[in-house]
Structure 1
């Protein structure tokens, strides 16, 4: 983790058994005045469907709320990214809206789903 850039904190996602790099995660758009940030993550295709996304979102929530003292996290994802939607909602994120036709993806406009989580609503996994 490199915390030298205030508004962006990148993480490597490493499989615990074996230490294989399986993706990246980011806390970005960190706003220290309003105490909010965005979450982003990308996993290798071979790592998808194994629950890593849910674990990564949980770790980023802990880092943001406990370590950084933020009060709100936000995720924007394509409406057909069911894995990210499940990972976010499993960690307590609430769908707050749809940004209609806001992303140009492979020759067509797609909707994005906006999800948010407040520190007061966050329930850390034991």
Structure 2
């Protein structure tokens, strides 16, 4: 069973077993504007919750994408190097940043479900 969760930093994680696919939300990509460069983590990189996992640059700003939980990167989305605009056109699909093996699933307990995230964004 897969489960989609969101952070207050506007990142999402789709959890399937012990693997999480991570990206930024529709709201985050709208705030950034046109994405022109993305640096994704390499396979094998150890991530620590709250630490830098990836970098995204837009015409407006450069921003870090933080690790949503502890884990080891099993795949970075190399398609973003050639086509960073996927983050704008499909942030919750083809615009994902990385997949990681989740070390501590309990860290996901503080994240929001879709309804809670929607309410959070509406309150900003």
TM band (smaller chain): under 0.3
Scaled by the length of structure 2, what TM-score is found?
0.26
Which structure would you say has the larger RCO, counting Cα contacts within 8 Å and 6 or more residues apart? 2
Scaled by the length of structure 1, what TM-score is found?
0.26
